[in-house]
Amino acid sequence: MHEHWYPAPAKLNLMLRVIGQRDDGYHLLQSVFQFLDLHDDLRFASAPSGVFRSFGGPVGLAPEKELTLRAARLLAERCGVCEGVEITLRKRLPEGGGVGGGSSDAATTLLVLNHLWNCALSRAELISLGTTLGADVPIFLFGRSAWAEGIGEILQPMPPIPELPYLLVHPGVSVATAEIFRAPELTRQHPPSTISAFLGGEQENTLEPLVRSRYPVIAECIDWLRAQGLRNARLTGSGACCFAEVPEETANDVLLDRLPASWRGWLVRGCNRHPLLELLPEIPAGA
Ligand SMILES: C[C@@](CO)(OP(=O)(O)O)[C@H](O)COP(=O)(O)OP(=O)(O)OC[C@H]1O[C@@H](n2ccc(N)nc2=O)[C@H](O)[C@@H]1O
Ligand SMILES: Nc1ncnc2c1ncn2[C@@H]1O[C@H](COP(=O)(O)OP(=O)(O)O)[C@@H](O)[C@H]1O
């Protein structure tokens, strides 16, 4: 159980639209998710019954909030597993960055422990378990580029979309997702969009105007990407990361050299398949 490191990739919201709100306050969204070749890595070691520990997660986060531990406990309870687990995280994804790092760590934990503990849950069962951990967890369990509705848990595969190179930038602030969704000035009733409208170029993120106005450095970041001549610069999720398409086969490293010192940047590529599809045995889809 010790030796493997398992990837937990980042996601981008290639478009995101808020179209309503549920009675419990959660917002109804439409979004196109694609994975990136940028990932955290997780390693799992068996531990005695009742022992759930993690190393390398966000500094200062209480263990009961750390998402890999919450995922491991949830799966153990659901499946009556009598083992514990020690999870080591090698974090690369910026926290609270809109690239789903914590959610992806949780999904990788569910997928890998489902295999190592022989739980034999179907993908559909893992998705309903994962949804209780966060609205972003289901896409990582679904495992393919998807069109999402509901709060992000109603997923259907996208037709193949280009796996483009992007410049991803974190402008050094942390956005509290809950604060953005709570804001009185958030427009909550955009008319619904469609997959074909997305493919035709309707790719905006309707959280962007509000995030820009509350976090001027994020507005500065999107404007900086545009000033570099990059196409389609926008926000992912509720931020703080912004991204833009970069030209294929060009010396894009110069863009990283030009980044303001307090920002972090990565040259990445979109991926239509989750990397664990190649590393774990196939899981039945389930109902
Ligand atoms: C906005 C998105 C788009 O992919 O991404 P991120 O920016 O977080 O990566 C997600 O919907 C975020 O998913 P996630 O980060 O898992 O959110 P959660 O922990 O479930 O929710 C944090 C808080 O945001 C609000 N929330 C979240 C999702 C949603 N559809 N409606 C909401 O109103 C709720 O107030 C909730 O308490
Ligand atoms: N393993 C983890 N990695 C990152 N964040 C985590 C983890 N476990 C819990 N969290 C919490 O989840 C919050 C959201 O993190 P993350 O998923 O990285 O951001 P986002 O949803 O904006 O993409 C963080 O503020 C952090 O406190």
Burial 80-111 (b: 16+ CB within 10 A, else e): ebebbbbbbbebebbebbbbbbbbbbbbbbbb
For range 252-257, the mean pLDDT: 92
Residue of 67, 110, 170, 215 to mutate, ligand 2, most atoms within 8 A of C-beta: 67
Element (H, E) at 40: strand 27-47
Q: How high is the pLDDT of residue 287? A: 73
Whether ligand 2 lies within 6 angstroms of the CB of 208 is answered as no
The answer to whether residues 11 and 138 belong to one domain is yes
pTM of the model: 0.96
pLDDT-derived band at 30 (thresholds 50, 70, 90) equals very high
Does the predicted interface ipTM exceed a cut of 0.85?
yes
The answer to whether residues 102 and 221 belong to one domain is no
- Structural domain harbouring 113: 6-159
CATH code of the domain in which 230 resides: 3.30.70.890
Distance 187 CA to ligand 2 centre (A): 25
Q: How many domains does the chain have?
A: 2
Neighbours of 116 (CB within 10 A): 17
Per-residue pLDDT tens for 230-239? 989 999 999 9
The answer to whether residues 138 and 232 belong to one domain is no
Amino acid sitting at position 83: E
pLDDT-derived band at 2 (thresholds 50, 70, 90) equals low
The answer to whether residues 121 and 190 belong to one domain is no
Residue-wise DSSP of 85-151: EEEEEE--SPTTSSS-HHHHHHHHHHHHHHHHTT----HHHHHHHHHTT-TTHHHHHH-B-EEEETT
Neighbours of 25 (CB within 10 A): 9
Nearest atom of ligand 2 to the alpha carbon of 91: 3
From the annotation, which residues make up the binding site for ATP? Answer: 94-104
The answer to whether residues 135 and 202 belong to one domain is no
Distance 177 CA to ligand 1 centre (A): 6
Q: Please report whether residue 29 resides in a domain.
A: yes
**What residues are labeled active site?**
11, 136
> CA-to-CA distance for 197 and 130, rounded, in angstroms?
29
Residue 38 pLDDT > 80: yes
Residue 1 pLDDT > 80: no
Distance 100 CA to ligand 1 centre (A): 10
Q: Please report whether residue 283 resides in a domain.
A: no
The answer to whether residues 63 and 127 belong to one domain is yes
Q: How high is the pLDDT of residue 277? A: 97
> CA-to-CA distance for 97 and 126, rounded, in angstroms?
24
Q: Of all protein residues, whose CA lies closest to atom 37 belonging to ligand 1? A: 178
Q: Please report whether residue 138 resides in a domain.
A: yes
Q: Please report whether residue 217 resides in a domain.
A: yes
